[in-house]
Amino acid sequence: MEKTVLEYAIPAFILLMAIEYLYGIYTSRNTYQLNDSISSLSQGLISQAIALCSPFFQIEAYRWVFTQTHTLSAPTFWQTAWGWVLGFVIYDFFDYWLHRTSHVSAIFWSSHVVHHQSQRFNLSTGLRQESFYPIIGFVFFIPMALMGINPEQYAVTAIGILIYQFWIHTEHIGKLGWFDKIFSSPSNHRVHHAINEQYLDKNFGAMLIIWDRLFGTFKEETTACIYGTRNALNSWNPIYALFAVLMDLLQKIRKASSLSQRLGYLFKPPGWSPPKNTAPSFPMNDDITPASLYNPPYRRGGPIGAMTVFLLSAILTGLYVTEAETWLGVNQYLGLALIGLLFYWVGYLMEKPIR
């Protein structure tokens, strides 16, 4: 089912990104930067490849709980029109709490951070999906299985809300009046991605913004947004981006002197340190401006070389996602390793060290 949806969605995504890019050029408000966009799209492709190798966390754990708790029958209400609508609302509610947790707990942030590392905000950012997010966050949706929402309906709901979020990653759509008060919109979501002090950890809603209004995390867009992360990644390498924050977190845990410190590093907010250690491992950057964004020169071959290798990697990843489901497990992981090497190469080509 997911493959069928993606077969139709991906061409639409590509078309809409092309339209957004051309519109930005036409209005002299281009929001795209090649290395940033390639990095974002690479994350999206890698996430699809990793999802193929982790079906337990994608759907099987949910299916197991559902079958164990509804062996004989499941509520038929969920199959009605109102049941589907309520299912979307319930999923969005649990997604709000997963998303909010991912910003206030370091271990969850380590898997979610890749979605925020883009320095630009455009439709390609919407495809910058987290590879390990479903693995660490699937438990938030298990209550839906206990309620009797069958796995197929759960999958459709999850894909539907994920696709919904694509269009809200743009700077070319302004405020939408009453729509902004109920739904997650481009204006609301720009705030969520911004690193301006007043915007930090706001507007977590995926489809509905009402949860933020109810639970005190809503912030209206009032000033221009600056994007990225407060602890800037400063790399276009998608493989490094996947593991950088997690490796830093594990390093701090290894050096911790007590169990309470280790648990603190894991579950307290990102950047937390014990009282005697006030210096975070990465200094917060409060002076980020568009002029200071990370943009080193390309290596030999330039943008054309990086784009060529990226397109090759994208084609091979598409073939892998289409065909590898029938492979033996070891072959799936070998294929995933090859894809990882290709995208590492893409990142390598996009950043020449400045001496």
Q: Contact 158/108 with Cβ under 8 angstroms?
A: no
In a domain, 113, yes or no: yes
Beta bridge partners of 227: 194
H/E run at residue 340? helix 329-349
Nearest to 51 by CA among 130, 113, 140: 130
Q: What share of the chain is helix, strand, coil (3-state, %, to 5)?
A: 65, 0, 35
Using only the alpha carbons of the chain, give its radius of gyration: 21
Contact 206, 164 (CB under 8 A): yes
Q: Six-digit token pair at 127?
A: 């495809």
Residue 161 lies in a domain: yes
**Within-domain flag for 323:** no
- pLDDT tens, the chain, 355 aa long: 555 566 678 889 999 999 999 999 999 999 999 999 999 999 999 999 999 898 888 899 999 999 998 865 667 889 899 999 999 999 999 999 999 999 999 999 999 999 999 999 999 999 999 999 889 999 999 999 999 999 999 999 999 999 999 999 999 999 999 999 999 999 999 999 999 999 999 999 999 999 999 999 999 999 999 999 988 899 999 999 999 999 999 999 998 888 999 999 999 988 888 876 554 544 444 455 555 688 888 988 889 999 999 999 999 999 998 888 788 788 999 999 999 999 999 999 998 865 5
Give the count of domains, the chain: 1
Q: Is residue 345 part of a domain?
A: no
**What are the structure tokens assigned to 126, written together?**
């919407």
Distance CA(280)–CA(125), nearest Å, equals 27
* 227 is a domain residue: yes
Whether 307 and 34 have beta carbons less than 8 Å apart is answered as yes
C-alpha span between 137 and 121 (Å, rounded): 24
- Residue 101 is assigned to a structural domain of this protein: yes
Q: 183 phi and psi, to 5 degrees?
A: -110, 155
Residue 73 lies in a domain: yes
- pTM, whole model, 2 decimals? 0.90
Q: What distances in angstroms separate CA 83 from CA 59, 88, 141, 154, one per listed residue?
A: 20, 9, 17, 12
Query: Does a structural domain hold residue 135?
Result: yes
Q: What three-state secondary structure class fits 182? A: helix
Question: What's phi and psi for 147, nearest 5 deg?
Answer: -75, -15
pLDDT in tens, 89-123: 999 999 999 999 999 999 999 999 999 999 999 99
For the chain, what is the largest distance between any 2 Cα atoms, rounded to a whole number of angstroms?
Answer: 68
Task: Write out the residue range of the structural domain in which residue 123 sits.
Answer: 2-31+59-235+291-295
